Amino acid sequence: MSLLHDIDYEQTTLLQLIQQAEQSHKDTFDLVRLSLDSGRDMIFLAVSADNLDGLGMVLEGLQEMRGEG
């Protein structure tokens, strides 16, 4: 199941993505890299599974390394 691919980014809300993840019983790892009009990049990451403690700790560690935590 893909949460981020094949969606209309101008019409799909975060609530709709959450509802789609709630309805699925499959583990999902979905990453999309977008180029913004400003020339900057943005990465969306959507992961759903029964236990994401390990991945959460890794991502929180990256955030702390950047001084944003």
In a domain, 35, yes or no: yes
In a domain, 21, yes or no: yes
At 38 the pLDDT is 97
In a domain, 52, yes or no: yes
**2 closest CA partner among 22, 25, 31, 23:** 31
At 67 the pLDDT is 82
In a domain, 34, yes or no: yes
In a domain, 2, yes or no: no
Instruction: State how many domains the chain has.
Output: 1
**27 closest CA partner among 5, 50, 7:** 50
Q: Write out the residue range of the structural domain in which residue 53 sits.
A: 14-65
Q: Which residues of the chain have pLDDT under 50?
A: none
In a domain, 8, yes or no: no
In a domain, 53, yes or no: yes
Structure tokens at 38: 């400003």
